[in-house]
Amino acid sequence: MSDHVNQGVTRNLKVLIYSDDRAVRSDVMLALGKRPAPDLAELDYVECATGPALIGLVDKGRFDLLILDGEATPVGGMGVARQLKDEIFNCPPILVLIARPQDAWLATWSRAEAVSSHPINAVLLADAVTGLLRPKMAKLSAIATA
């Protein structure tokens, strides 16, 4: 199945992970691995630890997914998610990591397309990321076969 879906796709998917905590960034990459689902291309990660650096990277880069730590300080992932959605034309999909289930409404306010919780649950995070990246894979496959 994965050979058929990935046929003609020539690039990896670029994922930016923002957290002021190196352990959170590492946990996310460990949970997702190089390919969170067999029908996805491999993931290339870019790590970011500060709000200003995040804004600059997203403004310059072409990312397929942004994973933002809602608990990051001093710039939280939910606030910066909303800022990115307001300021970046065709902003990539955003997944926000939240510490408490009660914070899910804030993630909705931030306009994030998905949420996952701390501590990182590899299965749930991979499912959420896969759901956000599959449409991108379909688009890349359609372009590659056109």
- Tell me the residue range of the domain where 99 lies: 2-141
> What one-letter code names the amino acid at 126?
A
In a domain, 32, yes or no: yes
DSSP class of residue 136? H
How confident is the model over 95-99, as a mean pLDDT?
96
Q: Which residues, including other chains, have CB under 8 Å from residue 58's CB and lie 6 or more apart? A: 16, 66, 84, 88, 91, 92
In a domain, 146, yes or no: no
Domain count, the chain: 1
Q: Whole-angstrom Cα distance, residue 37 to residue 57?
A: 26
Would you place residue 5 in the very low, low, confident or very high pLDDT band (cuts 50, 70, 90)? very low
In a domain, 93, yes or no: yes
pLDDT for 107-130, tens place per residue? 889 999 999 999 999 999 999 999
Would you place residue 10 in the very low, low, confident or very high pLDDT band (cuts 50, 70, 90)? low
**Residue 146: pLDDT above 90?**
no
In a domain, 137, yes or no: yes
Q: Closest Cα to residue 34, out of 7, 12, 16? A: 12
CATH of the domain at 7: 3.40.50.2300
- How far apart, in Å, are the Cα atoms of 99 and each of 2, 78, 91, 104, 133? 34, 12, 24, 9, 23
Helix (H, G, I), strand (E, B) or coil at 65: strand
Would you place residue 65 in the very low, low, confident or very high pLDDT band (cuts 50, 70, 90)? very high
In a domain, 119, yes or no: yes
In a domain, 73, yes or no: yes
In a domain, 50, yes or no: yes
